[in-house]
Amino acid sequence: DGGITQSPKYLFRKEGQNVTLSCEQNLNHDAMYWYRQDPGQGLRLIYYSQIVNDFQKGDIAEGYSVSREKKESFPLTVTSAQKNPTAFYLCASSLQGAGRGAFFGQGTRLTVV
């Protein structure tokens, strides 16, 4: 089955540690996105990538880093510089150019203690 997979579903980390969230898609989509969802604030764009080996900052990129070495994969690292990392993180992918609808993964709920 084609789809977009995020892992793990729940993640706990100690303050000061970096953590990497996985996002893999087998939909052959060019574009991939990372969003953060907090209660009452909707989805805020962290990073997006339109093509392999290229990515752009979204509205809240500070404290996060990404890589896009393969078309299928777009991992997000939450660094210790991110002041409020506890949140629900959603990865999405879409076909590039035609403004197609984005497919979302199930999300990773990160809790930093």
Partner 1 sequence: GQQVMQIPQYQHVQEGEDFTTYCNSSTTLSNIQWYKQRPGGHPVFLIQLVKSGEVKKQKRLTFQFGEAKKNSSLHITATQTTDVGTYFCAGRNNQGGKLIFGQGTELSVKP
Q: Which is nearer to partner 1, 15 or 84 (CB)?
A: 84
Q: In what order do the strands lie in the sheet with 4-7?
A: 4-7, 19-25, 76-78, 64-66
Give the shortest CB-73-to-partner 1 separation in angstroms.
19
Element housing 107 (H / E): none
Instruction: Enumerate binding residues for partner 1 (CB under 8 A).
Output: 31, 33, 35, 40-45, 48, 50, 56, 58-59, 90, 92, 94, 97, 99-107
Q: Cis omega (within 30 of 0) on the bond before 39?
A: no
Give the shortest CB-31-to-partner 1 separation in angstroms.
8
Q: Which is nearer to partner 1, 1 or 15 (CB)?
A: 1
Q: How far apart are CA 80 and CA 83, in angstroms?
A: 7
Give the shortest CB-67-to-partner 1 separation in angstroms.
18
